[in-house]
Amino acid sequence: MRATVGDRIVIHGHRIGEPNRDCEVLEVRGSDGGPPYLVRWGDSGHEALFFPGTDASVQHFEHSN
Amino acid sequence: MRTIEMLHRSGVGVAPSRTIRDAAAIMEQAGVGSLAVVDGERLVGIVTDRDIVRRAVARAVPDDARVDSVMTTPVVTVGADDPLDVAFGLFATHGLRRLAVMRGDRFVGMLTIDDLFVSVVEQLASLAKPITAEILFSHRDAAVPVTT
């Protein structure tokens, strides 16, 4: 996975009825856009390190400088 | 099969200085039952929802205490490129429910025993599929030719 600051990562539910979860990339700690990422979860504002598995996908956004 | 191929769930980590309350909130938000405790790039422990219940709530430890006060350390790890048999062996030997998967010195994810259960059941199902009809409808087998 490659991500940049501001991207959204979606973690897909593992069971029927389990909602998707999402977080925002605040920092890229790996090299060349790779993980781990410092992320902020939803509306809670909690920050954590994120190590993506196959259940996660990244949604890139165009960033303007 | 390599262990990394079984690692479907994303891993979540926190710094050891974070509070127990933060750790619980992150577990809830991220939908995980365990967190890697990472100091810089170094994995120093694992904290589970069970750890929080048994080591913090049950002992009246304040929820603003550091998360490393209730984490499990040292951590039993498995290499990302190790054969899956190694992970099976570690689960069996140590009686664990989670293994930290490492690539070199870096944490890459958490393998749960539930993931392996699902895999084993799926493999059994795929094995059973070709013979299911034979078991259920054995009377439809062609009769053995009678020789005289």
**Domain limits of chain A?**
8-59
Cα B95 versus chain centre, distance: 12
> Is residue B141, in this structure, part of any structural domain at all?
no
What's the CATH number where B59 sits?
3.10.580.10
Radius of gyration of chain A (CA): 12
- CB A59, CB A7: distance < 8 Å: yes
Inter-chain contact B10–A52, Cβ cutoff 8 Å? yes
Please give the tally of structural domains in chain B.
1
User: Tokens in use for B35?
Assistant: 């967190």
Instruction: Output the pLDDT for position B59.
Output: 96
Q: Does the residue B147 lie in any domain?
A: no
Q: What is the pLDDT of residues B61-115, one digit of tens each?
A: 999 999 999 999 999 999 999 999 999 999 999 988 999 999 999 999 999 998 8
Which of A1, A26, A46 has the most B C-beta neighbours within 10 Å, making it the best mutation to test the interface with B?
Answer: A46
**Distance from C-alpha of A44 to C-alpha of A42, rounded to nearest angstrom:** 6
Token couple for B55: 């080591």
Instruction: Tell me the average confidence (pLDDT) per consecutive run of 10 residues in chain A, 65 residues long.
Output: 92 80 93 93 86 90 61
The Cα of A54 is separated from the nearest Cα of chain B by a number of Å equal to 5
Q: Name, in order, each residue with C-beta under 8 angstroms of A35's C-beta and a sequence gap of 6 or more.
A: A1, A3, A29, A50, A51, A52, B108
Q: Which CATH architecture has domain A8-59?
A: Roll (2.30)
Look at residue B146 and tell me if it is in a domain.
Answer: no
Q: Residue A46 and residue B29: Cβ atoms within 8 Å? A: yes
Tell me: pLDDT of B142 over 90: no
Query: What is the domain extent for residue B121?
Result: 3-136
Chain A residue with Cα closest to B22: A46
At B114, which helix (H) or strand (E)?
helix B113-136
